[in-house]
């Protein structure tokens, strides 16, 4: 993989801009969760992008703030993508990240507008959180790429983990996306309070498998299986930590995060959907997904370096960048 950077003068403002975009995307996700938890989705009525709700109401303020932050974040992602393309457009990783950032925020915004103009089913609304999580991950991976070798350990090792482990890592992000979707569906279908206890469900560890109780319990079982999967991958990574300590570290972060996220899920139930517990639950799920995606990138086999980078235009120099 070519690690050269075209137009290094752009790189000076691109890095802090990417950090701002990643923080802004996480803020957008949390504000969206706030809209859901406070039932503020109709705070602007059925109007979009303008707001036609009751002026000064709590719901209108929350929904308007969410739209404003999303609009600002759209520009941050736009300019981050342009800068990334102009400095690293000759690298496939950069092109993929630009496409992922732009497509995910467009789909996320479009689904938000669709939900306002025309009420959607719980299954469709749950996808909104999934695309928000992908958007956060794309910006976070962009930051990791830009600062790789500076604040983050450079992946220069030639040792590649076993193929089965790599497949397990990729399966883990598919599984975690499914668990996140199921959790969002539980929230949008009002099945959270179907089990008013935790970890038991209505005085039973295995409740009646029908209706909202079944949906809630399925999410809990999926969370347990997901935790076991991450724990197994972590133990496997420890077996080759001398060759790849970076993978062990990121899986340690993932394991700690998923354990905390499980506790946050219990807190959601025990506090009857308090705002802080639901935001913490959503934030930890997103951090977990980001950590696993970074781990997947680390498991990719090293590619042979491209022979020559594209010639810089306008006489711009080529500066090295860690990769």
The pair of structure tokens assigned to 51 is: 């707001």
Lowest-confidence pick of 120-129, 242-251, 268-277: 120-129
Lowest-confidence pick of 48-62, 274-288, 290-304: 48-62
| Range among 59-63, 124-128, 283-287 with highest mean pLDDT value | 283-287
In the predicted model, what is the mean pLDDT of residues 96-121? 84
- Per DSSP, the three-state class of 152 is strand
In the predicted model, what is the mean pLDDT of residues 184-208? 79
CB proximity list for 68: less than 8 A, separation 6 or greater: none
**What local confidence, expressed as pLDDT, does residue 313 receive?**
44
Share of the chain above pLDDT 90, in %: 45
**What local confidence, expressed as pLDDT, does residue 2 receive?**
41
pTM for the structure as a whole: 0.84
**What local confidence, expressed as pLDDT, does residue 75 receive?**
95
**What local confidence, expressed as pLDDT, does residue 149 receive?**
66
DSSP H or E run through 150: none
Contact yes or no for 28/66 (Cβ under 8 A): yes
**What local confidence, expressed as pLDDT, does residue 122 receive?**
76
In the predicted model, what is the mean pLDDT of residues 270-282? 90
- Per-residue pLDDT for 264 more than 90? yes
**What local confidence, expressed as pLDDT, does residue 318 receive?**
41
Q: Which residue has the higher pLDDT, 322 or 117?
A: 117
Contact yes or no for 70/109 (Cβ under 8 A): yes
Q: Could you read off the pLDDT of 21-70 as tens digits, one per residue?
A: 999 999 999 998 898 888 887 778 777 777 776 677 888 898 889 889 99
- Per-residue pLDDT for 114 more than 90? no
CA-to-CA separations, 117 to 105, 111, 113, 122, 187, in angstroms, rounded: 18, 10, 6, 15, 21
- Per-residue pLDDT for 169 more than 90? yes
Contacts 24+ apart (CB under 8 A), 43-46: 44/116, 46/116, 46/117
Phi-psi region of 190 (alpha: psi -120 to 50; beta: other; left: phi over 0): left
- Per-residue pLDDT for 146 more than 80? yes
Lowest-confidence pick of 61-70, 141-150, 154-163, 171-180: 154-163
| Range among 168-177, 186-195, 199-208, 307-316 with highest mean pLDDT value | 168-177
In the predicted model, what is the mean pLDDT of residues 281-308? 81
The pair of structure tokens assigned to 70 is: 């999303």
**What local confidence, expressed as pLDDT, does residue 204 receive?**
78
**What local confidence, expressed as pLDDT, does residue 302 receive?**
67
Among 59, 63, 73, 144, the active-site one is 63
**Mean pLDDT across the chain:** 84
pLDDT band at 150 (very low <50, low <70, confident <90, very high): low
Contact yes or no for 131/103 (Cβ under 8 A): no
Q: Which residue has the higher pLDDT, 316 or 168?
A: 168
Q: Could you read off the pLDDT of 231-254 as tens digits, one per residue?
A: 999 999 999 988 888 899 999 999
54: annotated active-site residue: no
Could you tell me which of 189, 35, 190, 18 has the C-alpha nearest to residue 108?
35
- Per DSSP, the three-state class of 89 is coil
Q: Could you read off the pLDDT of 68-85 as tens digits, one per residue?
A: 999 999 999 999 999 999
Q: Is the peptide bond before 119 cis (omega within 30 degrees of 0)?
A: no
């Amino acid at each position: 993989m070519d690690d050269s950077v075209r137009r290094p003068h752009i790189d000076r403002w691109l890095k802090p801009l990417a950090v701002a975009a990643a923080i802004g995307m996480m803020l957008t996700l949390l504000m969206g969760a706030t809209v859901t938890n406070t039932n503020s989705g109709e705070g602007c009525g059925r109007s979009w992008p303008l707001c036609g709700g009751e002026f000064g109401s709590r719901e209108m303020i929350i929904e308007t703030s969410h739209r404003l932050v999303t609009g600002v974040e759209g520009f941050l992602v736009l300019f981050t993508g342009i800068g990334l393309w102009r400095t690293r457009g000759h690298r496939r990783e950069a092109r993929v990240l630009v496409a992922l950032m732009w497509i995910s925020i467009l789909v996320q915004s479009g689904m938000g507008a669709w939900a306002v103009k025309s009420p959607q089913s719980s299954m469709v609304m749950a996808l909104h959180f999934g695309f928000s999580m992908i958007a956060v991950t794309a910006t976070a991976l962009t930051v990791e790429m830009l600062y790789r070798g500076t604040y983050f350990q450079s992946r220069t090792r030639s040792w590649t983990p076993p193929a089965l482990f790599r497949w397990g890592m990729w399966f883990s992000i598919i599984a975690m996306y499914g668990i996140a979707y199921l959790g969002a569906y539980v929230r949008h279908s009002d099945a959270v309070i179907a089990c008013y206890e935790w970890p038991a469900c209505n005085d039973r560890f295995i409740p009646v498998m029908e209706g909202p109780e079944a949906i809630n319990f399925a999410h809990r079982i999926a969370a347990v299986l997901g935790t076991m999967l991450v724990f197994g991958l972590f133990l496997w990574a420890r077996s080759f930590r001398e060759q790849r300590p970076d993978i062990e570290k990121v899986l340690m972060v993932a394991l700690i995060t998923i354990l905390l996220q499980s506790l946050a899920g219990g807190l959601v139930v025990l506090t009857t959907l308090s705002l802080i517990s639901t935001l913490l639950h959503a934030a930890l799920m997103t951090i977990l997904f980001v950590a696993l995606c970074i781990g997947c990138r680390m498991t990719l086999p090293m590619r042979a370096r491209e022979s020559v980078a594209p010639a810089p235009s306008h006489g711009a120099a080529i500066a090295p960048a860690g990769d």
